[in-house]
Structure 1
Amino acid sequence: MTELDLAEYGLRNIAGDDLKPIVEQRLVVPDLPAHPPRVLLLYGSLRERSYSRFLVLEAERLLRTFGAETRIFNPSGLPLPDDAEAGHPKVAELRDLCAWSEAQVWCSPERHGAMTGILKSQIDWVPLSVGAIRPTQGKALALMQVSGGSQSFNALNQMRVLGRWIRMVTIPNQSSVPRAYQEFDEEGRMKPSPLYDRVVDVMEELMKFTLLTRGQSGYLVDRYSERKAAREKQSTAETAALGVAR
């Protein structure tokens, strides 16, 4: 985009070198990854009869039916954030899975009107960047919650904020299962209902978004402000280097 273009549209505060045109061809990957979409699923309860885990297992069955490769992280033994080193085995496992994944599913019970600390701790252990790798940025995300009482969306709303904060592409659809103790049988399988149908909808939508976004995260989240900051930092470094050379 040239300075003439910027003047034509009245963009007086833009650094022309850093503003790039949207290239439609960049949004069509010519060489799509050949492997199945990789989906990591997280749940937020350590109870033996954990309905968030049961719901994640239902989601996993659907994702595998749609052709995904899945991993479920067991949060048991994960230390509190900042209460261990990043090399702790459970922390390392979680971070490796996040880097491996191309999409994620988060499912939390609602406890005291909020998502659980168990789910939040998992997210808190995943940094925005590990060296040159950003484990979550630009990846598709689906959200689900279970409640012991009536229909609620508090945990979902909180997780949606988190997903946006760590730059994930959070899909529009979501699942909330009220009175979860009534929705699963003794074997932990979800009973047929409109609530189950919604879970199917969410996983179907996640697969579509994953296929659209995987391999594209670098371009999808490439930002003008970050390009500008990087150029200015480079320019400052070069100026300093010239000063030393003189």
Structure 2
Amino acid sequence: MTFPVLEGKVAIVTGAAMGMGAATAILFAEAGAKVVAADMNEERGRAVVAEIEAAGGTAVFHQVNIADSAQVKGMVEAAVAAFGRLDVAVNNAALTPDDKLTAEFDEDYWDRLMSVDLKGNALCLKYELQQLIAQGDGGSIVNISSVSGFRPQPANPAYVAAKHGVNGLTKTAAMEYGAQNIRVNAVAPGAIDTPMLRGALDQFGFTEEEYAPQLSLLNRFGQPREVAQASLWLASDQASYVTGSVIHVDAGYTSR
């Protein structure tokens, strides 16, 4: 059972077409939020909105490339146009991690990943914060980081660097806007059962049974909804005294 902890709130969720983003958009709607499901993938994004509406929730799809400043600004404006305001945002959109050692990294993919995973998150913060400041009554922003922002992995230097940057952005924004009752936190997922993770398993020829114990003290992969639950708590007034924090949803991976 999901309690209506976001009743009457307006929420943007980026990367909402699949995986953790889709689970977050659906859960937030269950919790009473009016959701702007934002993503590049229109077909899958609209399917998520249809699922929310079929369950009795309220949502709209907005197509956005978060690496583009004008599009991100337009996303926030679209949320306000649709629902009158903004209260909550979950900045989840990200690209698949790179797969080269540091001495061999692909410079083109480095630039592409950084434009989404780091600059894109910064742009989302920029325009979401501007709207929350203009409204004058606070709000909550959740950035999706990664355990790779704390325990670097070999052969994905761009992704590791970007997620370290997301942690820094989170703490900086929390410091700057706490006095205006705007809370900014992050969630750092571990091994979550998403298309991205399944693709990596296929690429390297691993099974969940073989690989999960290396990444989880619970010997299983996490589910997207388990990450969404952490974002929901941070977004809600139940976390009213929490800002500048990163919650690990990683089955103890970073505690080893």
Greater helix fraction, Structure 1 or Structure 2:
2
Please give the TM-score of this superposition, normalised by the length of structure 2: 0.44
